Amino acid sequence: MRLRTFTARSMPDAMALVRQHLGAEAIILSTQRSGGSVVVTAGLDQAEETASDMPGVEPEQDPIEILHETLAAHGTPARLVEKLLAAAIELSALAPLQALAGSLEKTLAFAPLALRRGAKPLIMVGPPGAGKTLVTAKLATRAVLAGRAVRVISSDTIRAGGIAQLEAFTTLLGIALHRADGELEMERQVLAATPDEIVLIDSGGINPYSAGDRRELADLIAAAGAEPIFVLPAGGDAFDTIEMAQAFRLLGAARMLVTRLDMVHRLGSVLGAAEASGLGFCGAGTASDVTKGLTPLNPIALARLLLPEMAKAGAQPTPERAHS
């Protein structure tokens, strides 16, 4: 027996999909409600062949079913799968890639990162090894290539090699690296910036489960008067990633930038973190080379990462996978 699962807004709509794809001989095996949708599993005896079963004829797969399978394969939390599918049902007439992009746009937040004179300083925050130093260097490179003045400050003065890594990048850019060991020095360094300078701050990684670490970082953010950008390494456990995102949201972050996308195949934990915390996607790295810059993570770019084979088959290019 060939089994298929169909998701629709109502039972009549689900049954219509069953008849459309499997014919009148289909056997209903189960029905259940998932959020505001109806999920029907139906089967067709292999002896009851339809045109789509004939040799050389590709069976047409329901776009909602494709999205359901895709999101499940990425390990997306069940509650978020329900929300995304409910939003996608209204777009089911579109190709799966476009329907997924529209669903992501309706369900998650996207907040592009622009470097503007006079804006608040930006401080990269996150756990150790997330890629904050490289992100800081890439943002500084973007500013320099755009002909803008930039002031780079590092508070990562404890980690071995932390200062040296960022200093190597700033030296190549022809700009100074300023050090801030503690809140008073951070405040002094920020106040020393000219009105034309874009201020970028690299912070040391913290344990988001440590109240002491969170308190120290909160004091540093306050001293800098900065907007924290949560740098999220992809590939973690879904529950841990969600809790981590929520912890940095409480520290004042409104946006997150995803790294290590080249090292993972499942992005469900990243989607779950964005939905649970309300943080807006602002970008992702595209290579370990600092000159490659950052890719804006808008709905269509994220959909291409979730459906890479369909993105390759389409006319539009797929964004490169990100390095931390």
CATH number at residue 302: 3.40.50.300
Beta pairing partners, 27: 43
- Indicate the residue among 107, 135, 166 that finishes a domain: 107
Element (H, E) at 33: strand 27-34
Q: Which domain holds residue 193?
A: 122-313
Residue type, 196: D
| Whether 59 and 138 share a structural domain | no
318 lies in some domain: no
Query: Cβ(244)–Cβ(269) under 8 Å?
Result: no
CA dist 121 and 130 (Å) reads 20
Rg (CA), the chain: 24
Domain boundary among 82, 107, 132: 107
Residues 263 and 187 in one domain: yes
**Residue where a domain stops, chosen among 107, 140, 162:** 107
In a domain, 320, yes or no: no
Q: Are residues 97 and 160 in the same domain?
A: no
Same domain, 136 and 283: yes
Query: Could you give the CA distance from residue 26 to residue 13 in angstroms, rounded to a whole number?
Result: 15
- Is the domain of 187 the same as that of 102? no
Residues 186 and 291 in one domain: yes
Is 122 in contact with 200 (CB distance < 8 Å)?
yes
Number of domains, the chain: 2
Containing H/E element for 323? Answer: none
Residues 183 and 139 in one domain: yes
- Residue 311 CA to residue 70 CA, distance in Å, equals 13
- Does a structural domain hold residue 72? yes
pLDDT tens for the 324 residues of the chain, in order: 556 777 888 888 888 888 887 887 777 767 777 667 788 877 776 554 444 444 444 456 678 889 999 999 999 999 999 999 989 988 877 889 999 999 999 999 999 988 988 899 999 999 998 999 999 999 999 999 999 999 999 998 776 567 888 999 999 999 999 999 999 999 999 999 999 999 999 999 999 999 999 999 999 999 999 999 999 999 899 999 999 999 999 999 999 999 988 788 899 999 999 999 999 999 997 666 666 668 889 999 999 999 988 766 654 433 443 333
